[in-house]
């Protein structure tokens, strides 16, 4: 039986996910179905399923979207040619790219114009990485965080003009290792004054680190295709937690797999809604209750995409969390 749950704080939805989910919810309310979305709005299977039930159609090619239809581009960022193609044929396009991803795109454009070779640390095939690589394809080299820098370094023509950028959802430990290696090889390496990692990603990893060393087991809530969720599981393993489980939600949680774990840590990736967290805790049924381990405050708010701002009242958007919006839509 589980004795106590250590609940990481912060956890769950980040500001970018909050913005994207609420924006898609507004589109569901404003437009007759179907509303289209290019790629999954966020990498969470249950969130995507909820929107499908509300009539949202997810596509992997914007050319599948009928002329004049409402179309959202996902929070992970899209290639420039995808954005241009989406806006053809009179579609009403809402670009829900996270502002922190937009910052990386801007850095890539600027460094490419200045003649830099850009080493981009990211996961091959991830939507965010695909979109960023397309911003400056002739200048950017993908560095998988699990591989050595050597193959990318062979393409560097001027060692004095090398820049290092990153997918925003990487594990801090992975980023720092590659950054330090690159600095050793390229003393003139350019990096952003503040690294590209999302503050929410870093905060969630710090909060998990604070509980992982105290826990007999850790449950990370989030989907397998969520980069930041996978990074959280790796953080717990690196901290030495003997048992780490990743689950989409309570239905996937095998309490027996926890064995005799008396203290269980719980956290959630940046795309996982709070109701799943509470449902997992209920399934764990801790006899000694829940201890919230608070690391830092998060009060960031990203306003709706500019395409929607004239269509919705500002107070209505600020006054609800994305989890509340999902619950309201589900009850409709």
Identify whether the C-beta of residue 13 lies closer than 8 Å to the C-beta of residue 322.
yes
pLDDT tens by residue, 255-300: 999 988 999 999 999 999 999 999 999 999 999 999 999 999 998 9
**146 burial via Cβ count (<10 Å: 0-12, 13-18, 19+):** exposed
> Can you name the residues that pair with 59 across neighbouring β-strands?
38
pLDDT at position 314: 64
Enumerate residues 6+ apart whose C-beta is below 8 A from 95. 72, 73, 78, 83, 305, 307
15-98+300-331, CATH topology level: Rossmann fold (3.40.50)
pLDDT at position 259: 87
Residue whose C-alpha is closest to residue 211's, from 269, 298, 295, 297: 295
* CATH architecture classification, 100-185: 3-Layer(aba) Sandwich (3.40)
User: What is the CATH class of 4-13+199-294?
Assistant: alpha beta
Domain boundaries of the chain, sorted by first residue: 4-13+199-294, 15-98+300-331, 100-185
Identify whether the C-beta of residue 266 lies closer than 8 Å to the C-beta of residue 8.
yes
Rounded Cα–Cα distance for residues 311 and 302 (Å): 16
pLDDT at position 324: 83
Residue whose C-alpha is closest to residue 191's, from 165, 224, 153: 165
Q: Which residues are catalytic?
A: 128
Would 4-13+199-294 and 100-185 be classified into the same CATH topology? yes
pTM: 0.89
Residue whose C-alpha is closest to residue 96's, from 68, 127, 65: 127
Rounded Cα–Cα distance for residues 141 and 147 (Å): 13
pLDDT in single tens digits along all 332 residues of the chain = 799 999 999 999 999 999 999 999 999 999 999 999 999 998 899 899 999 999 999 999 999 999 999 999 999 999 999 999 999 999 999 999 999 999 999 999 999 999 999 999 998 999 999 999 999 999 999 998 656 677 777 788 899 999 999 999 888 888 888 999 999 999 999 999 888 899 999 999 999 999 999 999 999 999 999 989 999 999 999 999 999 999 999 999 999 999 889 999 999 999 999 999 999 999 999 999 999 999 999 989 999 999 999 888 766 677 788 888 877 777 76
pLDDT at position 98: 95
pLDDT at position 328: 79
pLDDT at position 239: 94
């Amino acid at each position: 039986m589980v004795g106590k749950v250590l609940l990481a704080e912060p956890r769950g939805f980040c500001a970018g996910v909050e913005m994207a989910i609420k924006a898609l919810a507004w589109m569901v309310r404003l437009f007759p179905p179907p509303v289209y979305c290019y790629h999954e709005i966020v990498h969470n299977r249950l969130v995507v399923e909820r929107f499908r039930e509300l009539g949202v159609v997810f596509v992997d090619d914007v050319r599948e979207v009928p002329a004049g239809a409402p179309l959202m581009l996902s929070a992970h960022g899209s290639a420039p040619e995808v954005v241009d193609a989406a806006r053809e044929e009179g579609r009403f396009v809402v670009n829900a790219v996270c502002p922190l991803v937009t910052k990386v795109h801007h850095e890539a454009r600027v460094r490419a114009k200045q003649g830099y070779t850009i080493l981009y640390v990211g996961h091959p095939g991830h939507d965010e990485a695909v979109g960023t690589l397309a911003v400056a394809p002739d200048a950017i080299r993908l560095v998988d965080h699990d591989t050595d820098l050597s193959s990318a370094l062979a393409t560097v023509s001027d060692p004095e003009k090398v820049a290092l950028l990153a997918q925003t959802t990487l594990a801090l430990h992975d980023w720092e290792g590659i950054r330090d290696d690159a600095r050793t090889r390229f003393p003139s390496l350019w990096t952003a004054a503040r690294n590209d990692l999302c503050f929410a990603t870093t905060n969630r990893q710090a909060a998990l680190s604070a509980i992982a060393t105290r826990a007999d087991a850790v449950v990370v809530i989030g989907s397998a295709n969520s980069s930041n969720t996978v990074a959280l599981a790796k953080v717990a393993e690196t901290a030495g937690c003997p048992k780490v489980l990743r689950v989409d939600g309570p239905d996937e949680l095998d309490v027996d797999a926890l064995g005799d774990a008396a203290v269980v840590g719980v956290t959630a990736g940046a795309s996982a809604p709070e109701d799943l967290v509470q449902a997992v805790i209920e399934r764990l049924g801790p006899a000694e209750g829940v201890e919230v381990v608070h690391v830092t405050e998060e009060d960031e708010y990203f306003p709706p995409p500019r395409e929607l701002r004239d269509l919705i009242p500002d107070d209505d958007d600020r006054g609800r969390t994305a989890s509340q919006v999902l619950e309201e839509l589900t009850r409709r």
